Amino acid sequence: MTNHEVLPLLGQVADSVSRAIAHVHPELAGADPVVRRSEHADFQSNAALALAKRARTKPPELAQALTAALADDRGPATHVEVSGPGFVNITVPDQLLWNQVAARLANSRLGMGTPNEGQRTVIDYSAPNIAKEMHVGHLRTTIIGDSLARVLGFLGSEVIRQNHLGDWGTQFGMLIQYLDEHPELTWHHDELERGASAVSALDELYKTARAAFDDDLEFADRSRDRVVALQSGDPDTIARWKEIVSESEKAFRDIYDRLGVLLTPEDSVGESFYNHLLTDVITELTEAGIAVESEGALVIFSEEVTGPDGNPAPLMVRKREGGYGYDTTDLATIRYRIHDLKANRLLYVTDSRQALHFQMIFEAARRAGWLTDGIEAAHVPYGTVLGPDGRPFKTRSGGTVRLMDLLDDAVSRARAVVSEKNPDLAADALDQIAEQAGIGAVKYADLSSSRVKDYVFDVERMVSFNGNTGVYLQYAHTRIRSILRKAGDPEASIDPTIELQPAERALALELDAYSTALSEVSSTLEPLKLCGYLYDLARDFTTFYEACPVLSADEPVRSNRLALCQLTARTLQHGLDLLGISAPERM
């Protein structure tokens, strides 16, 4: 196996069109060659239409000139012709397509390069709140963030995952005080009966403590004292707080393990971590005149965002009573990620309602001189998960949907569809496949919908074998694996002199475009681009398999087709893995 990058044909063709442009019109050198895949040929360039005006000519004439230049070029094009108002249709030789397939199969990375090398990317994702249940919104950030971490990492970025846990703030005063006054309360992981989690017990306790805080003035005072004790590092209070954090983290870990995400305990760098940095950050912002006093509080007035009253919207740096909140922490966080972690790409995966918050944090960081030109900071927003009624997903009683219940439900429906399709599966195999299919289905449904849009959580549709679903892709993979097993999983051997059938050609071209799909995920931060690619690939495979018999074909055609099967199976498995979805061998 090698690990040299195999350049995609699309890029090679684009390069030769660029050379042709520079050759016929040197003044246009460097212009976009506008090359795409096409239904009419392997590739099509629209450069003549885009550039004719600048070249002071008509599109058909420019297309003709480019065609002539391409004929002399040493690039991959064999057949070049003008079509329509000035398109240039380009076909590449069959041999070249087979060579691409062979080179990718011989490569440990399917021929993919590492275009993101030199990028150090912080991905802030998941970030649930301690002592509260994770809700469906946290499911989205966890799944999307994890897939981005995988794709960007594969493309060569150095990825630093940051789980910005909500583990600090005034609510802990209430909770700790309440627990202290009620030592009989049971909430530890191992004391609870199976099924309940420490975090749901804490969530309940928090609600009770909150009610006590609102009703009982003396309890409220004692709770406030507790916050002060916590923030000033009182050992007993800190010990209690740590206990709560670690119990909650156990429950989060159960979810992470089940989802199979990359997040580890070392990635947990919660709000509390920034506590010791806050005063420095505030001093710096105040001395620079960016943070200013306003009605007893310290704020940063935005120059970009206006509030509902039409005045500049403020970031709250220090509250009137002296406390620090979410805004303060995020200011310290962005400075830390730039100055200490030395990241040059900062991604924050949270729901779209936090868009203005991050816009203002980035603005402040720019004004403070932390966020400079070579550094990209981006909020990666996503929409709301809706219930069957089209409203934000809640339980019947209006409460948060427990994520574990949601995953259990998906897995049990997946078990039903899988066992219907394959009644002979042994019970333990069925358990394992149902888990992979159910979890994969939930993840794929999320990743394949346009990120910023809301989507309806429809388990029935998610676990279907038909349509653009995770189960469909997993099944497509198992079908190809079964063909390869029947053939005895041979070493790939390709005879590049064999003529390609149309369906083989379409599949080979699609296989060659994998890196393009991955780069699109990196530039748009939309895992949907990878989902769409894998779905197209699976469908191209189906068309190929219907048109071109594999196992019953004569040699050398049979071996060439088996190689196409192999590369398709490996690409599907690889792509699913970058989405955080497993590809079982059978289902």
Interface residues with ligand ARG (CB under 6 A)?
A: 124, 127, 129, 164, 166, 330, 333, 348, 350
Give the nearest distance from C-beta 175 to ligand ARG in angstroms. 16
Which residues 6+ apart lie within 8 Å of 17 measured at CB? 33, 35, 45, 47, 66, 70, 88, 90
Which residue, 263 or 476, has its beta carbon nearer to ligand ARG?
Answer: 263
In terms of Cβ atoms closer than 10 Å to its own Cβ (0-12, 13-18, 19+), residue 359 is middle
- Is the Cα dihedral 437, 442, 444, 448 positive or negative? positive
Question: Three-class SS of residue 390?
Answer: coil
CA separation (Å) from 540 to 72, 287, 341? 33, 61, 43
CB 273 → ligand ARG: shortest distance, Å?
A: 11
| Least distance from ligand ARG to the Cβ atom of residue 335, Å | 12
- Of residues 164 and 529, the one with the C-beta less far from ligand ARG: 164
Q: What is the DSSP letter of 112?
A: -
Q: Which is nearer to ligand ARG, 331 or 407 (CB)?
A: 331
Instruction: In whole angstroms, give the CA distance from residue 298 to residue 397.
Output: 40
* CA distance linking residue 159 with residue 152, whole number of Å: 7
Task: Report, in Å, the least distance between residue 174 CB and ligand ARG.
Answer: 18
- The CA radius of gyration of the chain, in Å to the nearest whole number, is 28
Q: 129 vs 436, which CB is nearer to ligand ARG?
A: 129
Q: Minimal distance in Å, beta carbon 436 to ligand ARG?
A: 28
Extract the tokens encoding 409.
């439900």
The answer for residues whose C-beta is within 8 angstroms of residue 297's C-beta and 6 or more apart is 316, 317, 318, 319, 320
Question: Which helix H or strand E contains 174, and what residues bound it?
Answer: helix 171-181
Nearer to ligand ARG, 345 or 561 (CB): 345
Q: How far is the CB of 292 from ligand ARG (least distance, A)?
A: 23
Phi then psi for residue 378, to 5 deg, are -140, 135
Q: What is d(CA 259, CA 281) in angstroms, rounded to the nearest whole number?
A: 36
Question: What's the closest the beta carbon of residue 422 comes to ligand ARG, in angstroms?
Answer: 40
Considering the complex, state which of residue 357 and residue 477 has its C-beta at the smaller distance from ligand ARG.
Answer: 357
Q: 168 or 544, CB closer to ligand ARG?
A: 168
Cβ nearer to ligand ARG, comparing 53 with 353? 353
